[in-house]
Amino acid sequence: MILLVPSDPLNDRRPDEYFASDAAAAKELDWTVCLVDVDALGAGDASSAVRRLSRISDRAVYRGWMIRSEHYALLEAALTAKDVRLYTDSEQYRKAHELPGWYAGFRSHTAPSVWLTQSGTEGLLELVKTLPPGPAVVKDWVKSMIPTPS
């Protein structure tokens, strides 16, 4: 098994300090630890993000900063080219990461929510009218939101 962790932004040969203990624990389990340049990944350059990873036929787990679903898909493609398969594929990641993918399963545990499926605000006012009256939050799809206990 491979553990993928972000590299330190100031020294790409060591893990980011926030994930160093995870990397150390994985090494104790005889896992391979590989560093991912999340800045390169965020810029859309997945090949550079995993440049230090050798071709290894194995499965991998990403343990790091939240990344956009499209960047995770790029990471998956770059790893596949190196014969590495993510344990959580990009479609599973997207469904768990973005509100439309997980909302139905957690509807009773989170605030009533609606969302647009396209960029811009067209249709927003009609969509908001379907919500119960009271305060509301407008936000992106990937940050958690816990309702206030009543």
How far is 53 from 92, CA to CA, in rounded Å?
23
**Band of residue 135 on the pLDDT scale cut at 50, 70, 90:** confident
Q: Are 114 and 137 in contact (CB under 8 A)?
A: no
Question: What is the spatial distance between Cα 47 and Cα 45, in angstroms, rounded to a whole number?
Answer: 6
**Does the pLDDT value for residue 25 go beyond 50?**
yes
Whether residue 72 sits in one domain with residue 27: yes
Contact partners, residue 137, CB within 8 Å, separation at least 6: 111, 145
Number of domains composing the chain: 2
**What is the C-alpha separation between 117 and 114, in angstroms, rounded?**
10
Measured CA angle at 41 (ends 65, 51), to 5 deg: 110
Question: Same domain for 11 and 66?
Answer: yes
What is the structure's pLDDT at 143?
Answer: 58
Tell me: do 13 and 77 sit in the same domain. Answer: yes
17 and 89 share a domain? yes
What domain range is 113 assigned to? 99-128
Q: Using one digit for the tens of pLDDT, what is the confidence trace for 32-77?
A: 999 999 999 999 999 999 999 988 889 999 999 999 999 999 999 9
91 and 19 in a common domain? yes
Q: What are the phi and psi torsion angles at 78 (to 5°)?
A: -65, -40
pTM: 0.84
Residue 76 lies in a domain: yes
Residue 149 has pLDDT above 60, yes or no: no
Residue 142 lies in a domain: no
Among 64, 56, 65, CA closest to 85:
56
